Structure 1
Amino acid sequence: MKLFNWTNIRLLLMFVVVIFLFSFTSKRNLNRKLTKCTVAFVGDNAPFVKQETVNKLLIEYNSEVSSIQKVNLDLNKLEKSLNSQEMIEKSDVFVSIDGVLKAVVKQKTPIARIFDNDGSFYVDYKGNRMPLSANFTARVPLVLGEINKNNNDDLAELFRIIYDDPFLKKNIIGIEIMTDGSLKMHNRNFDYQIDFGKLNNVEHKFKNYKAFFQKAVLDSSLYKYKKVDLRFTEQVVCTK
């Protein structure tokens, strides 16, 4: 019985010591000052956001990162601050054991550039507006016309289809939104206009267009056409 009691006492003492050491280490770690901050961009390497901009948001506009204690950091607040930046889609902020404040940042992905009465802006992959960047210009289709709540979702899906398809992404450089809602598109290397029609059967129309293009490019007939009409479901009509 005595041995049992002494064993319990030793276990209790060991537990108390562990808790004390853990608390002491945690407190000491929190009181340590940061050594530096680093930013890693994932996904698209296009520098829409400067690293200096992210650094300023991370250190809350203090001039010296080494003056900030870990205990004074609110990582959730820093992430919200970064995520509110119009060029950033998502961020992950954390502090390493050696006192380095790190941010892993995923920028938004522009898939089209819109020109309308309000000026110019990008549409990102999720279909939201994204401002232009002073640092980099994305090579995406230029779109003339109005985007509104009635056509925004359908147009965003169209832009995603073009962006995700290597052939379309390379060749479709311009889109005009007509007043009746139909679309006209422009190809990178040829002078013909693509009459796409309304935003229906989008994938089928592109499938027809790619099949036509692969056949026509073999006999060099693409240079002869002024218009390629995709409005008809089962055929492509060309005008010289």
Structure 2
Amino acid sequence: MKKLNWKKILINTAWVLSLVGVLVLLGASIRQKSNKKIKGVVVEIKGAEKHMFIDEQDVLQIVNDPAPVTGRPMRGVKLRKLEELVKKNPWVNNAEMFFDNQYHLQVSILEREPIARIFETNGQSYYIDTAMNKMPLSTKLTARIPVFTGFPATKKIDTSLMQSVIQLSTLINADSFLTAQIAQIDIVQQHQFEMIPVIGDHLIVFGDASDAADKLKRLKAFYQAAWLQHGMNTYKIISLEYKGQVVGVKDVIKNVIKNVPPENNIPIQIPLTSKRNTL
């Protein structure tokens, strides 16, 4: 018969008892902490670089409904359920909650950032973000972002058109001049766009969203040249539909400007009439 190794058995038993003791103490500590009362709520909102459509009071109103959490035992607050309630707010992209060592409920909110405002053909208006999420208008503030009108009012969203809207909005928002100059963007038939400027009595015929970055670069170069020479009211229509060109229309006279540089250089002009027409 094999002799038992009592030393090894005693060591293993000691380790098991130690582990059990640690688990018992840990469980007691957790139970004791869960019985502690919440001392307060700390709210942190991220993601809103320019706008804040949901603030601390909005979050606290959700957290404290139907009764304030401060003063309640921590075990009585279901954090995951509370997170889901906060996420139902259309301006909340994500919500995370935990209790810190000072028995405060820490609430971290990631807010959605609007990129464009949409007006549908039925009159409905809302904001969208880069993920095509719809957010309602707010009485607190109005976001200074591109405004699109004439979006089709259909049950199923036109994702292709919405992607074009997001693409244009992203480019315009990234440029301070275009943000200040483009007042409104009208959606016309077959996903074509027309822009209404803040300064100047003219219409910008943009075409579709293809080569959008290049079109906006040509528009800025055209503005720089036209503004310096004749002001902003010389042209009635500025068309960006043709690749590598800007077409400026003065009533019935057209000037085709080829290869407009993105710098401040005066663009090369090829008149379509027998008389030379300068910018």
Query: Shorter-chain TM-score: what band?
Result: 0.7 to 0.9
Partners of 1:167 and 1:61 in 2: CA distance = 48
Q: Residue by residue, what CA displacement relative to the aligned partner does 1:183-231 show, whole Å, maximum 9, x if unpaired?
A: 1112334443211012333233223223333444554644533322101
| Aligned counterparts, 1:188-203, within 5 A | 188-203=198-213
Partners of 1:216 and 1:92 in 2: CA distance = 52
- Specify which of 53, 61, 76 is matched with residue 58 of structure 2: 53
| Aligned counterparts, 1:99-110, within 5 A | 99-110=103-114
How far is the alpha carbon of 1:114 from its aligned partner? 1.9
Identity %: 28
For 2:135, give the aligned amino acid. Answer: M
How far is the alpha carbon of 1:2 from its aligned partner? 5.7
Mapped pair 1:176 → 2:186: yes
- Specify which of 44, 69, 72 is matched with residue 68 of structure 1: 72
Structure-2 residue corresponding to 1:18: 22
Q: Residue by residue, what CA displacement relative to the aligned partner does 1:99-131 show, whole Å, maximum 9, x if unpaired?
A: 111111121111222223232211222222210
TM score, norm. by length of structure 1: 0.86
Structure-2 residue corresponding to 1:39: 43
Structure-1 residue corresponding to 2:146: 141
For 2:81, give the aligned amino acid. Answer: K
Partners of 2:132 and 2:216 in 1: CA distance = 20
How far is the alpha carbon of 1:166 from its aligned partner? 4.2
Q: Residue by residue, what CA displacement relative to the aligned partner does 1:62-88 show, whole Å, maximum 9, x if unpaired?
A: 1x3223222122222222211111111
Q: Looking at CA atoms only, which structure, 1 or 2, has the larger radius of gyration?
A: 2
Q: Give the SS at the match of 1:68.
A: coil
Q: Which has the higher contact order (CA 8 A, sep 6+)?
A: 1
Is contact 2:146–2:173 with CA below 8 Å preserved after alignment? no
Is contact 2:199–2:232 with CA below 8 Å preserved after alignment? no
Q: Give the SS at the match of 1:66.
A: coil
How far is the alpha carbon of 1:22 from its aligned partner? 0.8
Mapped pair 1:213 → 2:242: no
Report which stretch shifted further, 209-218 or 144-153. Answer: 209-218
How far is the alpha carbon of 1:13 from its aligned partner? 3.6
Mapped pair 1:81 → 2:47: no
Partners of 1:12 and 1:58 in 2: CA distance = 43
* Pair 1:220–1:100, CA change in 2 (3 A): farther
Report which stretch shifted further, 201-210 or 78-87. Answer: 201-210
- Specify which of 132, 136, 142 is matched with residue 127 of structure 1: 132
The aligned length equals 239
- The unaligned stretches of length 5 or more in structure 2 are 251-279
Partners of 2:130 and 2:179 in 1: CA distance = 14
